[in-house]
Structure 1
Amino acid sequence: MVFENFNVQAGNDASGVPTDMLTLNSTVRILYRNPATFFAVHVTSTPLEIHYFQLRLASGQMKKFTQSRKTQRKITTVVEGQQVPLYGGVGVLSNGREHLEKVSLPLNLTFVIRSRAYILGRLVKSKFYSRISCSVTLKGNRLGKPINLNHSCLYQ
């Protein structure tokens, strides 16, 4: 995962309430493997979402694809949030708006990968769901540098 852009500025939400507005741009790369020896799988995903506790800061949609048997591929997805109103919900950012390079913000990346295999044509269908939740810390001085999420993710 790479956080490319992170910006907090004053603004108004859709109803005209003045609040801090956050813009976040990041890229998530996933390695997907199909270890099956006899069938391909059709892969879709729920939107990839970045949360600060329960406040959704950014989201992005992975493109669906078909993965052949015994192959792997890297999927790149842009996860972004444009002018997200904070309403004072992120106290770390309200104090450090001028010094964003010193900010350390704990975030969660969550999504579900859905894989479907048609084993005997469409007669036998197998579904595989994987719920993935990753803990990541956005550090203002590490923008543009990749963050390895191998040991910080839970797969259910």
Structure 2
Amino acid sequence: MRKVLLIGVRGVGKTTLARALAGKLGAVHLNGDEYSAVSFDSGRAEVDLLQQARQLGWIADQIARARQFVVVDFVCSSEASRIAFQAGRQAFVVWVDRVKVDHASGCGGQFETPATYNVRVTSPGTVEQWASRIESAVRRSVGAGFV
């Protein structure tokens, strides 16, 4: 899979890890917060988050169709938002689960445990170590025919 989605609560290190992973993969990096800042005016209503997930997913699909890796870091706090993101093309999902409390209001205090994911990032290990592990797993998924 060339479309990689990093999910998790705010402040957990998704963007830092996404940047490191994008560098290793030679990937385009898309940041959900930056996209939201320029695309949405109405805050973080669930409808807006689903629309944002669909749009970011579509953009990522276009990049992946060009046989380019794309790494997206996005809270994706609900299963519905993860489904919306993957509507066009399945993603390699990385759950960044390094803190147990959502210390920002962006998820409304709610983060649904993902039903499925490819890699779960937990506390032990540096950003560089995790980026290397994830890079290997993503490349294996592409080699296995999951493009």
Tell me which of the two structures has the higher relative contact order, counting C-alpha pairs closer than 8 angstroms and 6 or more residues apart. Answer: 2
Indicate whether the TM-score tops 0.5.
no
**TM value normalised by structure 1:** 0.26
More strand per residue: 1
More helix per residue: 2
